[in-house]
Amino acid sequence: MNKVVTCVAPVNIATIKYWGKRDEHLILPLNDSVSLTLDCDQMHAKTSVIAGPFIDEDSVWLNGQIMSIETNERLKKCFHLIRNLIKIRKGENSQEAKWNIRVCSENNFPTAAGLASSAAGYACLVYTLANAFGLVDEDLPSIARQGSGSACRSIYGGFVHWKAGIDDLGSDSTAIQIAADTHWPEMRIIILVVNDSQKKTSSTVGMKQAVETSELLKYRVQKCVPERTKEIIQAITVKNFEKFAEITMRDSNQFHAVCLDTYPPCVYLNQVSHDIISFVHDYNEAVGQIKVSYTFDAGPNAFLFIQQNDLNLFMSELVNVFPSEQPNSSYLRGIISTLPYEVCDSVKPFGFKPKDKDLLKYIMVTKLGSGPRCVNDHLLNDDGTLKSK
């Protein structure tokens, strides 16, 4: 392997939330989860890999910083699992099994913004290594899972179901595609990045505390999630948006309810998040139908789901209610071909009252994507050195 291999991998947003591990080491979840994979065009992790006898040691560069593989258990595990597969496929004493590997990875969106960067990052690492070593037919979700649980869902495009499984070794805890992105091309995702400075419990710590202290989590895992998973897969299959949207909102709220039931309580939503929740319910009530839904991960940012036909009307209200000092060209990002979302005093069909300016950093509109793919725009040179920008 004398050539750099580079891939991009997407962010995914869960509509049935993963929260709580049944095995901390193998990263096996307590319950199934369901997610949508976003288009790589707007947000992605990008990873370049080169391996060979001329690479002096394993190394990983992330967003311009060198990472220590030795002290990062999850990174080490992914390297170990990939090398094991190389040994199995190419032989214990093959050249490839002995090569050192250099990895360079970047996100094209802020890592700290709470936008599932580790899921995209680990999916990209595993997918790129698999491409570099000819392992693309292996069970990549199960390897990505051990880097960051929800990374397993970013291996596929469209709608993805991560099964919790029951095997102690995790052989049945992997991700499968429910439907491709082309199944529901009208689906749009609006990301509201919230201005926030609060310290947050990391999701790894938060879910561990929930497993240890939340009584309600037990019931969620045993009773609520199995029913909802079945229902939302059915809703996706028949493209029943209202059903899909309602289950999504209910599951987001239940996940945050479990966080609040944790001791001490774990709070990820802030006042702006709650303002967004209220606005979505008010909007749906005003239009007399569930046209838009929300979900929140372990942070204050909102992920809204809406269909293309309903996007423009909703966006004009959204920009009216959450105004910005910025020009629309920087406030509104993503797949907005035109920018018709001016606050216009004469057109306020529902009379929602505008809130303070700049509660949101920016608004990103995106759509479903088809999963990770190889690209030619490398981060490394063929001699293993980092490309200068």
Residues in the site for a copy of itself, rule: CB under 8 A? 215-216, 218-220, 223-224, 246, 249-250, 253-254, 256-258, 260-265, 267, 270-271, 274, 277, 281
CB of 271 to a copy of itself, least distance (A): 5
Based on CB atoms, which residue is closest to a copy of itself, 199 or 389? 199
Question: What amino acid is encoded at 222 in this protein?
Answer: Q
> Judging by DSSP bridges, how do beta strands 187-194 and 12-16 pair with one another?
unpaired
Q: Are 277 and 154 in contact (CB under 8 A)?
A: no
Rounded to whole angstroms, the Cα distance separating 293 from 16 reads 13
Based on CB atoms, which residue is closest to a copy of itself, 223 or 387? 223
CA-nearest of 78, 27, 65, 257 to 86 is 78
Cα dihedral 107, 111, 117, 123 in deg (nearest 10): 40
CB of 300 to a copy of itself, least distance (A): 11
CB of 209 to a copy of itself, least distance (A): 12
Based on CB atoms, which residue is closest to a copy of itself, 102 or 256? 256
CB of 298 to a copy of itself, least distance (A): 15
Phi, psi of 200 (to 5 degrees): -125, 145
CB of 196 to a copy of itself, least distance (A): 11
CB of 293 to a copy of itself, least distance (A): 11
CB of 125 to a copy of itself, least distance (A): 35
Rounded to whole angstroms, the Cα distance separating 305 from 240 reads 13
Surface-to-core class of residue 134, CB atoms within 10 Å of its CB (0-12 exposed, 13-18 middle, 19+ buried): middle
* DSSP for residue 221: I
Q: Mapping DSSP to helix (H, G, I), strand (E, B) and coil, where does residue 56 land?
A: coil
Based on CB atoms, which residue is closest to a copy of itself, 233 or 277? 277
Q: Are 43 and 366 in contact (CB under 8 A)?
A: yes
Based on CB atoms, which residue is closest to a copy of itself, 102 or 291? 291
Rounded to whole angstroms, the Cα distance separating 297 from 114 reads 8
218, two tokens: 């037990």
For 136, residues 6+ apart whose C-beta sits below 8 A from its C-beta are: 127, 130
